[in-house]
Structure 1
């Protein structure tokens, strides 16, 4: 009995020791993987710079948090840690939608942003792919990196996000060191289409390019196959709509407008290699939020993904910019507000209006002091000082007030004074008659 108990105790101790060692090396292995992932991100940020990226990291991997400070992002890193391995999609959606909402606020105040999603949980990636678009975290100028160890053929639920955004898929394997395959999904490709392999990466060899395609190349500049793009537009009588045979789809008709907007989109389609299917909103409007909080018109069709492009001269407003991406303005117009001007009022005291009462009071006080100084010699005896005549002193004071230059003394020129007074009265009367 004693030997059996001793053997059992030693066996349990050996098992616990092995489990502890395994857990230790497992922790070390996870930490090494996290460090390798950070090295990979730094290599991509260095190989494809975007004028000083700000990185938004969204992950359910706790081990990455210890290495965030090592990410070489010129403008900093924002980290959003979400709980992983939750099989309930509703719980994951509730948690991740809140995090994406906060990340979107961070994206709006940043100049150029690269969003990095790291997860091996298919539920996490599916919810992220949905809410990153619906929550407006990903816009036209945002770059996206999705890093996972899931096989590519299991990632069909993120196909649309990879195809319609400026993104790359990083598929990792550990055997035993980290090896990464870098994929790009072409725009408007069918679900299940194999993405293009751009390069591979390993800590020792770095990047090994597998095609002539570079990182974040302009995949929307020239589409590889000729997809059909749905364009929402509104035609009026001024646009002179004409029905023609659709050259891309024999037997179908296409209504075009003879205007510069239609010519522009047809020219873009010819250069980017896509065909057009025109649709019109039911209300025939550009789009606004109705009483139910739903978007109407062409913007509503783009927001609900019923159309790829809305063609029109839209007014770019902050609330519209929250649900749709706008191109660079092709036409800028200005509006002014006109209001009836009141009839001019003629008043003999109009010369007082340019200055405030306080300023006029200061002028009168200064003039009074000047007159006192000028008239003071008139009070002195003749023997002590050659007195200045009272009329001359008063004339000098009036000349200073009216900002007139020095002139000959009037010296009893009463006719000249009367003529000036009559002329001023005549001018005031004529001006009042003309304006009234």
Structure 2
């Protein structure tokens, strides 16, 4: 367990960013020590919460297996805005406990569902009081799986023609897709109830850049795990292996009488001739 504190006692933006960067870097090192980590964030400052959402993305602090618990005290409207406008809070495994400091301490437990029958919305999961404890008010579990059902939503995808993994035919509204990666993604879309919307991409860099910018939800491409990429992305489990090897064609030497002398250069033949002459003269001198 580790405890970190960021004191925003400076008006200098650069100092604040440096503090966040250092704390997020150390917190990520702690998170990497275990496969299952719960991060608790405590703050009543909305600017601090927004800064955490931004820097946790830049510093790759959270992955889906990481649970984020936020404890704060915000008006409900500001809470909706905070949870819906930041990718960290809306899309990751996050619940929020909002304190209501009245005559009796009361807490509301919330989460943001990006996909639901009523669209993206903030959901109150439970309440907590000193007398009753935690009382669930919905069938949705604490820390729900937000992506078990997309309810027919359109999901942005980036890809690039690369046979046999991803292939296209036709143009415009008549574009047809095929290939290993497309069929895999189509199977997932059918199981999770979403439709595929392919965003245009001009290069491999643009494919992944659109995912990093959160314009695309997924990139269905063959993505080899390289040290340079591990500095930018977190990999979960490899399901497709592509071996690397070096190969050369087998030389085809046709039997011919020139093979007796062609492998040697003129210098080699000259040296052999000189050696034969010297040996012959030596034998005659005896």
Give the TM bin, normalised by the shorter chain: 0.7 to 0.9
What are the superposed Cα offsets for residues 148-183 of structure 1, whole Å, 9 maximum, x if unpaired?
011231132342322210110111112244321111
Offset at 1:193? 5.7
Is the radius of gyration larger for structure 1 or structure 2? 1
Alpha carbons 2:40, 2:70 under 8 Å: kept: yes
User: 2:187 matched to 1:267?
Assistant: yes
Counterpart mapping for 1:33-432 below 5 A: 77-84=1-8, 91-155=15-79, 156-159=81-84, 160-187=87-114, 194-223=121-150, 225-236=151-162, 238=164, 239-243=166-170, 253=173, 255-283=175-203, 285=204, 296-326=205-235, 328-337=237-246
- Would the aligned equivalents of 1:145 and 1:170 in 2 still touch at CA under 8 Å? yes
Tell me the distance in 2 between the aligned counterparts of 1:142 and 1:187: 18
For residues 120 and 197 of structure 2, what CA distance do their matches in structure 1 show? Answer: 23
Q: How many residues end up aligned between the 2 structures?
A: 244
The C-alpha deviation readout for 1:116-175, integer Å capped at 9, x for no partner, is 110001111110011111210011221111110112311323423222101101111122
**Gap regions ≥5 residues in structure 1:** 1-76, 245-251, 286-295, 341-436
- Cα gap change, 1:327 to 1:104, in 2 (>3 Å): closer
Contact residue 98 and residue 109 of structure 2 kept, 8 A: yes
Provide closer, same or farther for how the CA distance between residues 194 and 233 of structure 1 changes in structure 2, counting only shifts above 3 A: closer
Indicate how the Cα distance of structure 1 residues 168 and 88 shifts in structure 2: closer, same or farther if over 3 A, else same.
farther
CA drift of 1:240 comes to: 4.2
Distance across 1 between alignment mates of 2:125 and 2:91: 17
Mind listing any 5+ residue stretches in structure 2 that lack a counterpart? 250-286
Larger relative strand fraction: 2
Which one scores higher on RCO, CA 8 angstroms, separation ≥ 6? 2
Cα distance, 1:88–1:171 mapped onto 2, change above 3 Å = farther
In 2 relative to 1, CA 324–170 (structure 1 residues): closer, same or farther, beyond 3 Å?
same
Paired residues of 2:158 and 2:210 also in contact (CA < 8 A): yes
- Give the TM-score, by structure 1 length: 0.51
Q: In 2, distance between residues paired with 1:331 and 1:237?
A: 16
Q: Relative to structure 1, is the Cα distance of residues 165 and 105 closer, same or farther in structure 2, using a 3 angstrom cutoff?
A: same
When the two chains are superposed, the root-mean-square deviation of aligned CA atoms in Å is 2.8
Mapped partners of 1:183, 1:86: distance in 2: 31
Cα offset for 1:253?
Answer: 1.9
Higher helix share: 1
Aligned to 1:381: none
Name the SS of the counterpart of 1:141 in structure 2. coil
The alpha-carbon distance between structure 1 residues 152 and 231, as it changes in their structure 2 partners (threshold 3 A), is: same
Instruction: Check conservation: 1:255, 1:278, Cα contact below 8 A.
Output: no
Aligned partners of 2:64 and 2:93 also within 8 Å:
yes
Given that residues 104 and 135 in structure 1 are in contact (C-alpha distance below 8 angstroms), is that contact kept between their aligned partners in structure 2? Answer: yes
Separation in 1 of the partners of 2:174 and 2:216? Answer: 16
- Distance (whole Å) between structure 1 residues aligned to residue 91 and residue 11 of structure 2: 27
Change (3 A) 1:175 1:100: same
